[in-house]
C-alpha cells in the first residue's frame, strides 16, 4: 500500500511542475484524494457492496469536486490535475499513466446498461474541459485538446482537437516542412498567377477567333521569371 502511495506522489512530481513537496502533494492534491477514495469505492463495488461504494464515491465528490463512478476502472499512476468538474462514468476504463485536467468528462450517450463509456489507453493526456462520449477508444499516448468534444475513436499517438474532435498533424510535422533558406516569395507567386491566366485567355481567344496571338511573349516572360526567381518560375 505504501509502495502505491509513493508511486502516486512520484507521479504528481513528474506531471505537475508546480508540485513542491511530498507533504504538500499528500494533503493538498484533490486529484490524488479522488484516486485514493476511488480505490476504496471500487473495492466495495467489486464485492457487491454497491451502496457503500456509492457512498464513498459521493463523499469523495463532496470534498474534491471529482465524480468517479465506483464501477469505473482506473489504472496505475493516473493523475487528475486540479480536478474540479471531472466526471468518469461507470463503464469507463482508464489505462496506466493517464493525465487529465479539470472538467474532463468520460461520459455515455446510451441509456442501455452495457459498455457505454470511453476506454482511455495508457499514456493519454486529456486537456481541461474535454468531453469524451460513448464507448470509443482513445489510443495509447494520444492527446486530447482542451475543450474538445470527442465522439469517435482516436488512433494511438494522435492529437485531437476541436468540436467535434478532429485529428491534427503531430507537433513539428508541419514545421519541419519549412526551410528557412527557401522562403516563399509572394510577388513572384502573384506574377506567376497572372501569366498563367494570360496564357489561358490567349489560347481561348486563339480558339474563338482563329487569330494567332504571340504566345512567345508569355513564354519569354515566364523564362525571365524563372531566371529571376529560380525553380518554379517557368509556367
Ligand atoms: C491539444 C494539445 C495537446 C496540442 O499540443 P501541441 O501538440 O503542442 O499542438 P500545438 O500547440 O502545436 O497546436 C497545433 C494546432 O492545434 C491547435 N490547437 C491546439 N490546442 C487546441 C485546442 N485545445 N483546441 C483547438 N485547437 C487547438 C493550434 O491552434 C494549432 O493549430 P494550427 O496548426 O492551425 O496553428 C494542447 O494544445 C492542449 O490542448 N493541451 C491541454 C493542456 C491543458 O488542458 N492544460 C490545462 C492546464 S490547467
Summarised one tens digit per residue, pLDDT across range 113-167 is 999 999 999 999 999 999 999 999 999 999 999 999 999 999 999 999 999 999 9
What's the 160 CA to ligand 1 centre distance in angstroms? 9
Contact assessment for residue 85 and residue 111, using Cβ atoms and an 8 Å cutoff: no
pLDDT 10s digits, 34-89: 999 999 999 999 999 999 999 999 999 999 999 999 999 999 999 999 999 999 99
Q: What residues does ligand 1 touch, defined as CB less than 6 Å away?
A: 82, 101, 127-128, 143, 145-147, 159, 161-162, 168, 171
Strand stretches in 21-179, DSSP E: 67-68, 73-74, 79-80, 87-88, 93-94, 99-100, 105-107, 119-120, 125-126, 131-133, 137-138, 143-144, 149-150, 159-161, 166-168
74 φ, ψ to 5°? -120, 130
> pTM of the entire structure?
0.76
Measure the CA–CA gap between 40 and 36, rounded to whole angstroms: 7
What's the 161 CA to ligand 1 centre distance in angstroms? 7
Contact assessment for residue 153 and residue 172, using Cβ atoms and an 8 Å cutoff: no
Closest-CA residue, ligand 1 atom 4, reads: 145
| CB atoms near residue 219 (< 10 Å) | 14
Amino acid at each position: 500500500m505504501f509502495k502505491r502511495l509513493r508511486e502516486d506522489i512520484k507521479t504528481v512530481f513528474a506531471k505537475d511542475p508546480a508540485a513542491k513537496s511530498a507533504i504538500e502533494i499528500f494533503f493538498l492534491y484533490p486529484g490524488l484524494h479522488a484516486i485514493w477514495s476511488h480505490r476504496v469505492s471500487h473495492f466495495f463495488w467489486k464485492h457487491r457492496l454497491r451502496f457503500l461504494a456509492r457512498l464513498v464515491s459521493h463523499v469523495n465528490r463532496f470534498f474534491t469536486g471529482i465524480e468517479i463512478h465506483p464501477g469505473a476502472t482506473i489504472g496505475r499512476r493516473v493523475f487528475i490535475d486540479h480536478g474540479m468538474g471531472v466526471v468518469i462514468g461507470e463503464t469507463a476504463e482508464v489505462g496506466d499513466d493517464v493525465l487529465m485536467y479539470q472538467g474532463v468528462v468520460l461520459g455515455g450517450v446510451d441509456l442501455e446498461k452495457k459498455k457505454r463509456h470511453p476506454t482511455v489507453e495508457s499514456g493519454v493526456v486529456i486537456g481541461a474541459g474535454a468531453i469524451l462520449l460513448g464507448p470509443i477508444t482513445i489510443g495509447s499516448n494520444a492527446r486530447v485538446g482542451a475543450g474538445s468534444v470527442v465522439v469517435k475513436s482516436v488512433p494511438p499517438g494522435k492529437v485531437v482537437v476541436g468540436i467535434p474532435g478532429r485529428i491534427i498533424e503531430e507537433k513539428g510535422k508541419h514545421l519541419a516542412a519549412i526551410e528557412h533558406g527557401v522562403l516563399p516569395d509572394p510577388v513572384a507567386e502573384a506574377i506567376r498567377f497572372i501569366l498563367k491566366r494570360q496564357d489561358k485567355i490567349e489560347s481561348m481567344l486563339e480558339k474563338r477567333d482563329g487569330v494567332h496571338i504571340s504566345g512567345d511573349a508569355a513564354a519569354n516572360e515566364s523564362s525571365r521569371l524563372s531566371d529571376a526567381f529560380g525553380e518554379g518560375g517557368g509556367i
